[in-house]
Chain A
Amino acid sequence: MAKVKESPWLLHYDGSSCNGCDIEVLACLTPVYDAERFGIVNTGDPLQADILLITGGINTQNKPVVEQLYAQMPRPKVVVAVGTCACTGGIFKECYNILGGADTTIPVDIYVPGCAARPQSIIDGIIKAVDLFQKRSDEHDALMDKQKRKEG
């Protein structure tokens, strides 16, 4: 099984958040927290990303965007919801246009609560996501092997 956990590439998508969590996500990459020491790269390109980081709730307008971003990411992939809004809808939950947390649209694996989520807990969430990414990757490889044997 290939080891993939040394190289988790992130795609950060900002739903309808107040930008508090987005600032904290960017803070993870600054010298104080330096997420790059775990090989984390903030790519901005869904085709190259392994982990989807969502901040803010889902509204009727960004629902198709989130679905498309998720579909464009190659398998194996992991989704992390950062902040209370992305987990449940948070303070905006009762708004007429808000559907709720990220899990109303795509399957979410890791929830990082907080308003705003602290960089420490975001990095903690990413590290958990990385372990899950490795597990999924192993399963993906096993599945591919099985398929190959069936064909061959």
Chain B
Amino acid sequence: MMATPILQISGLTMDFGGIRALNRLDLDVHAGEIVALIGPNGAGKTTFFNCLTGIYTPTAGEILLTPPGNSKSISLKGLKPNHVTEKGLARTFQNIRLFSQMTVLENVMIGQHCRTKAFILGAILRNAATRREERQIVEKSYAILDKVGLAHLANEFARNLPYGAQRRLEIARALATEPFLLLLDEPAAGMNPQETQELDRLIKEISTDGHSILLIEHDMKLVMSLSDRIFVMDYGKKIAQGKPAEIRSNPAVIKAYLGEDVDA
């Protein structure tokens, strides 16, 4: 008997006017897993992430989150993005969305926002509690940057980082929100093979630290190396799911990626 999955999605549907971008999608992630979501361009993977993180409100379906060590499930459907993040789900973006005019460290410090409290009065009075909190934010952010290998660039502007480092900073920023489930939207997009290899190592490290990971990725080598399970989407529908070896030989997946076989 397996424990309840930390993320259980059932019948998730998203309509944009007459277009059904997601069609009754079911998906689950268990604690400690790395799950990949793959599919051709336009299959609805990013829409799926947007529904999950509250940027879109899904038309139908249910998203249930069960924090590890907790028997109660929370529905994420209709929650605002910031509340989803507070519940312990953090994401990165396919097109990098860093705060480019802020320093690398400040980007990570923003991630700590929902775990800290100081407000107007705290900011003006700068009392002991606020100073302690600021100190903690800085130390923690440095520790996270150290983990992704960016601590030496902490006070650079985010916009001045090389591409691969910006991708890693996005992961660091998401980690700073203290999630138990990390959603990575094409973390390896545009990376060179060496950067991808480093990313592979980083994701495994994050996973061993106790974060579950759900990632969208096109780099099949990375997906096959990382994932415990893979879900495949096409035209908003799930067409396959299983272990990497099963997916590799699944005819429906091959058809979706390579097109219809021409019958002789």
Partners in one complex: no
Interface residue ranges, A against B (CB under 8 Å): none
